[in-house]
Amino acid sequence: MIVPLQPAHASSLATIHCAGLANDFLPRLGVGFLTVFYQGVLERKVGFGFADVENDRIVGFVLGCADAPAMFKVLLGSGYALRLGLQALPAVLRRPGLLLSVLETFLYPQKEAPLPGKAELVVIALEQAQRRRGRGRGLVRALNDAFIARGIAAYKVSVLQTKEDANRFYLALGFVKAGEFVLYRKRWNLYRYSLVDSR
């Protein structure tokens, strides 16, 4: 069952994010950091999305936003900035090089190739056992409907070039490659999805 994301889901989202995308940057900052991130995004209503629930347990989710730069600006300009910093501190003290990546994370929308519109699929994550069962497609369809309801005609998503399965997933759904950029010293593909063309 797919349900809208709520702030109360933040801890579950963070756990799934860390397990499902363990090699990405943000999970290196810990479950606590991601829990505060998701609380902030959902409480401040600068992002929205859906959880896939099975037996009263979240097994996957998708998060989108209408304006990625504004989402990060709101988080940095609110009480969440201090909470995020405190949650990231232990990881940064262990590995000071992470600090530069933290800054890159909040500035990355400026690195992407210029595209009309600022809407974005921020993250999608599923428990390992739930992959290749159509759940990801269902979550993206729900997000598409939410974008359309908000009057958004197209949105983007960034994917590491080395993640072949993820790149194939978006291409199979009809996303079109719109550019490339470098973030965390790695190359990323930028995809665009037209909600007008998909109707």
Q: Does domain 2-194 have CATH number 1.10.10.10?
A: no
pLDDT of residue 73: 84
* CB proximity list for 161: less than 8 A, separation 6 or greater: 167, 180, 186, 187, 188, 189
pLDDT of residue 106: 60
- Give the C-alpha distances (Å, rounded to integers) separating 163 from 50, 123, 166: 23, 14, 5
pLDDT tens column, 124-144:
999 877 777 889 999 999 999
17-47 exposure pattern, b = at least 16 Cβ within 10 A, e = fewer = bbebbeeeebbbbbbbbbbbbbbbbbeeebb
* CA atoms of 25 and 147, how far apart (whole Å): 26
pTM of the predicted structure, to 2 decimals: 0.87
Neighbours of 107 (CB within 10 A): 12
Q: What is the mean pLDDT of residues 115-120?
A: 78
